[in-house]
Structures are given as structure tokens and as C-alpha cells.
């Protein structure tokens, strides 16, 4: 772990398991409450007593160093990501590694031009002229808690803008994928001038460690990515000290296929989206809404595309879909599929674990799904696609919005019509005819119970800033 500038072990450790074969990748320190308290104290002291919060030039230099170090060590990180996360090799060229590495470079450049103050108009008050302005200051000490599915993306999307803003950070990796997060801490310690205490990285299997991060009065802000259920608990825990909270939570995103869409393209997109990282993505479109009169035709096209998905060893360049993260997650997915069929859904294909080592699950297609049922409402986090028919555009939008979530979505059809439909769906991101919104300059986050706030882009920096308004009598 990285605590107060030192790389330290723990009093005990726990294994990180390769989900493709069940073998141990390595061991992570099992951090204690005392470790978390030391990390918080280091971050607090560094924020309060050093010039990190005000030295923009130092922060720019450190972010540039971090970007260069991440690029230099990308191949080591790639192999670790494949082994620990179960990410397909080709996927590490995108959202699992290469794309998040670019975040550090983006914020280093943004910080060079981003205005940390802005003038307001002078105000005449009681015969005196008041000069007024607003300055932007870092939020303070940040606790960053991440999920297992895209650990590099999630860690860097939190830590980098927090550092750019002038915050100090305690980062806690997910127990299922601790090594990649610890590796980021090692790179920071060895290859950057980021001062001791600015970034602290801990790993732990103890839920109480996370509780310390969300309740400590020395933490000013919590940023969390994970399930909505856990997000609710974090929001409640943080309320006792009125912490600023950023939450990026679950999703149950819908892909709306309009009747003038390219059905072959839609089927391919739906199939390859839901099997990306074995469906372990909060923004993946897991509900496919299709015109009722074209339902059977589109289902057949989706089935054909799902059959072409290569599932297997994520280290093999030919593999597209790797394993689920754990036996526990595979059992959860399988149980949800079984409950769906018991409730009346039709299993078109898939629906069972793949025999052999590792935690693989078949690409699964369900039809005859009630839009109000569990499988259509709850996040599965597995390669399970439901196809739901609609009667007209209003019906499609209604079904898409029939969710506690509002993270992402997609629509295919004639451009102007598709844009009009996209604007009616209440989600934080939206893809139109295959458009890709994911980039370091693009804000990401959700409506409703998919979260609070936005990561990345200028919005991502401003999540970690407070605004202070000044007024001075002049003249």
C-alpha cells in the first residue's frame, strides 16, 4: 500500500484470483482500520500544511510525470489487467487501460488554461463600490472508493481530477481487483514528484475500512463507483458530517431500435455491447427495445451475432469475451436468469455457466420479458440481453424511462428522429447510431439512482472544487 509516501505491507494479506483460471495472481495487503486512519491523517496533514493545494505549477508537472510513467509501464499494467480483471487483451487498448491513461495528460493540459478565479461586476452598496470575484479552491481530503470492473479507469477518473484541483486523496481498491490499484500507487511513489501524503492507496477485505473513509471527520469528500445499494449506504454514512458526495452507480440502459434503423447494425451493436467485459459494465445497454412487428426478425439477428462472440482466455488476442470476476458473481447472474425464465421469459440462447476452469458464462438472450420484472429492472452485471417489443415511439421512451436508473442509453434510426428520441430519455449519456461519448473531455454520470455528479471533462474537475466569493470595498 502507499501511505504517507511509503510503500508498506500489512499485518496480513489476501489473494487476488485470476477469474479466467481460478489461480492466484498475487497477494495484496489486507489493510486495517489503523492503516486507513494513518492514510487519512497523512492526506489531512499534507492538505493543511503544504502548498499542494495552491501550487498549480507543481500539480501540472506531477500530472505530466504520472502520464509519462503510466505510458512507460503500460505493458506491465496491461498484463496485470488481463490476469486480475479478466479483461480481454483487445479491451485493454480501450476502456481498461489505454483510454484511462490519457486522463492524466488531459487534466495536465486543462490545468494550464482553466481559470481558478472569475470576476463579477462591481456592486454599488451604501455609497461604496464593491469589487467582487470568485475563486475556486480544492474541496479538501478526498476518499475515493472504486469497483472491480474497470479499476484503472475508475481510479484515474477520480484521482487525477482530484489532484488537478489540489485535493489530497485516499484511494481504496476493490477487494476483487486490488493489485492493479496498488500498482498505480507504486507508479506514483516511484516515478513522480507527487509529495508524500498527497496520494494514499490502500487495499482491504474489511468493510469497516471503507466505513472509516466515509465517516471520518477528516475526509471532506467521498467519490464512489459501485452498486446503487452501496451508494445509498455511503450517502447515508457521509450525511453525519455533511460530506460532499460523488456517486457513479448502477445502470439498466436501453437501446431503442427505431423502425427505420439498420437492424443488422443494431443487432451487432447489441450483441457485442452486452458481451463486452462479459457484461460487467454499468453503462452497457442490457435492454433492447424493438418495434413489435419486427421483433422476431431482430431477435434472430441478435442470436446470430451472439453466436459469433469468441469467449475464452482473455490473454488470447482472438478472445472478445472473458470471464465474470468471481464464482459469486457467476452464481448471481445464473440465479437471475433462472428466476427470469421461471417468471415467464423465453431463453433464446445461453443461460448457463461454461464448464472448465474460470468463471465463464454463456452469452444469454431472453425474450418475452415483462418490462416491470426483475430481469428488466435490476442490474445483472453479466452477458444477459433482454429484447422487449414496443408499439410506438412514446411506448419505447416510456419503457426506457421505466427504471430507477438513468446512466446511459442508445438509439438507432434516422438522425433527426433518433436525436429527438434521445432527448426524451432521462440518462446522463447517450449514443446515437453508434456514437462514442467516452473520452477524457466527456462528462460521465447519471440521472436518478445512477448517481450524483459527473466524472471527467471540465465537470469532473469542478466536482473537486469549492467556490469562494469575495467582496472588497474599493475607491
Give the H/E segment covering residue 167: none
Length of the chain: 475
Closest to 231 in 3D by CA, of 453, 461, 399, 457: 453
**Alpha-carbon 424 to chain mean position:** 24
User: What DSSP character marks residue 353?
Assistant: B
Q: Distance between CA atoms of 199 and 65, rounded to whole angstroms? A: 14
Chain centre to alpha carbon of residue 351: 27
The kind and range of the H/E element at 354 are none
Residue 348 to residues 304, 306, 335, 365, 385, Cα–Cα distance (Å): 11, 11, 17, 5, 10
Residue with cell 498475487: 26
Q: Which of 116, 213, 118, 117 is nearest to 165 (CA)?
A: 116
* Residue of 84, 248, 455, 462 with catalytic role: 248
Asked if 248 is an active-site residue, the reply is yes
Whose cell is 481559470? That residue is: 115
Count of other CB atoms within 10 angstroms of residue 151: 29
Q: Report how far apart, in Å, the C-alpha atoms of 110 and of each of 60, 113, 164 are.
A: 9, 6, 9
Q: For residue 463, which phi and psi values (nearest 5 degrees)?
A: -60, -30
The Cα–Cα gap between 34 and 42 comes to 12
| Cα 95 to Cα 88, 101, 188, 306, distances in angstroms | 11, 9, 21, 21
Cα distances from 336 to residues 105, 154, 169, 208, 384, in angstroms, run 41, 26, 37, 29, 10
CB 395 within 8 A of CB 384: no
Residues with a known catalytic role: 248
Amino acid at each position: 500500500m502507499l501511505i504517507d509516501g511509503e510503500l508498506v505491507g500489512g499485518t496480513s494479506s489476501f489473494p487476488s484470483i485470476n477469474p479466467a483460471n481460478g489461480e492466484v495472481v498475487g497477494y495484496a495487503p489486507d489493510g486495517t482500520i489503523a492503516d486507513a486512519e494513518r492514510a487519512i491523517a497523512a492526506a489531512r496533514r499534507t492538505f493543511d500544511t503544504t502548498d499542494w493545494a495552491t501550487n498549480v505549477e507543481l500539480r501540472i508537472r506531477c500530472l505530466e510525470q504520472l502520464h509519462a510513467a503510466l505510458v512507460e509501464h503500460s505493458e506491465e499494467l496491461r498484463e496485470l489487467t488481463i490476469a486480475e480483471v479478466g479483461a480481454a487483451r483487445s479491451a485493454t487498448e480501450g476502456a481498461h487501460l489505454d483510454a484511462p491513461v490519457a486522463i492524466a495528460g488531459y487534466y495536465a493540459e486543462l490545468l494550464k488554461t482553466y481559470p481558478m478565479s472569475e470576476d463579477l461586476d462591481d456592486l454599488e452598496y451604501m455609497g461604496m463600490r464593491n469589487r467582487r470575484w470568485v475563486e475556486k479552491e480544492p474541496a479538501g481530503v478526498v476518499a475515493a472508493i472504486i469497483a472491480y470492473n474497470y479499476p484503472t479507469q475508475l481510479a484515474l477518473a477520480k484521482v487525477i481530477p482530484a489532484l488537478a484541483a489540489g485535493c489530497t486523496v485516499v484511494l481504496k481498491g476493490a477487494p476483487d481487483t486490488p493489485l492493479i490499484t496498488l500498482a498505480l500507487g507504486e507508479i506514483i511513489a516511484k516515478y513522480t514528484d507527487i509529495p508524500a501524503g498527497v496520494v494514499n492507496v490502500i487495499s482491504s477485505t474489511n468493510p469497516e475500512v471503507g466505513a472509516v473513509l466515509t465517516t471520518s471527520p477528516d475526509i471532506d469528500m467521498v467519490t464512489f463507483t459501485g452498486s446503487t445499494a452501496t451508494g445509498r449506504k455511503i450517502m447515508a454514512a457521509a450525511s453525519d458530517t455533511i460530506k460532499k458526495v460523488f456517486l457513479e452507480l448502477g445502470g439498466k440502459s436501453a437501446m431503442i431500435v427505431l423502425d427505420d434503423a439498420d437492424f443488422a447494425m443494431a443487432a451487432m451493436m447489441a450483441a457485442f455491447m452486452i458481451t463486452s467485459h462479459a457484461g460487467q459494465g454499468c453503462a452497457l445497454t442490457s435492454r433492447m427495445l424493438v418495434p413489435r412487428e419486427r421483433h422476431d426478425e431482430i431477435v434472430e439477428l441478435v442470436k446470430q451475432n451472439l453466436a459469433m462472440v469468441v469467449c475464452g482466455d482473455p490473454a488470447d488476442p482472438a478472445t472478445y469475451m472473458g470471464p465474470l470476476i468471481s464464482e459469486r458473481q457467476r452464481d448471481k447472474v445464473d440465479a437471475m436468469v433462472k428466476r427470469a425464465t421461471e417468471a415467464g421469459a423465453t431463453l433464446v440462447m445461453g443461460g448457463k455457466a461454461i464448464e472448465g476452469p474460470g468463471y465463464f458464462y454463456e452469452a444469454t438472450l431472453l425474450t418475452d420479458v415483462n418490462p416491470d420484472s426483475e430481469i428488466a429492472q435490476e442490474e445483472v452485471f453479466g452477458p444477459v440481453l433482454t429484447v422487449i417489443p414496443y408499439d410506438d415511439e412514446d411506448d419505447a421512451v416510456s419503457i426506457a424511462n421505466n427504471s430507477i436508473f438513468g446512466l446511459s442509453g442508445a438509439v438507432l434510426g434516422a438522425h433527426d428522429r433518433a436525436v429527438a428520441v434521445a432527448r426524451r430519455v432521462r440518462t446522463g449519456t447517450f449514443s446515437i447510431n453508434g456514437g462514442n461519448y467516452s473520452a477524457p473531455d466527456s462528462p460521465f454520470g447519471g440521472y436518478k439512482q445512477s448517481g450524483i455528479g459527473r466524472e471527467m471533462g471540465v465537470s469532473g474537475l469542478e466536482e473537486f472544487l469549492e467556490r469562494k466569493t469575495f467582496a472588497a470595498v474599493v475607491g
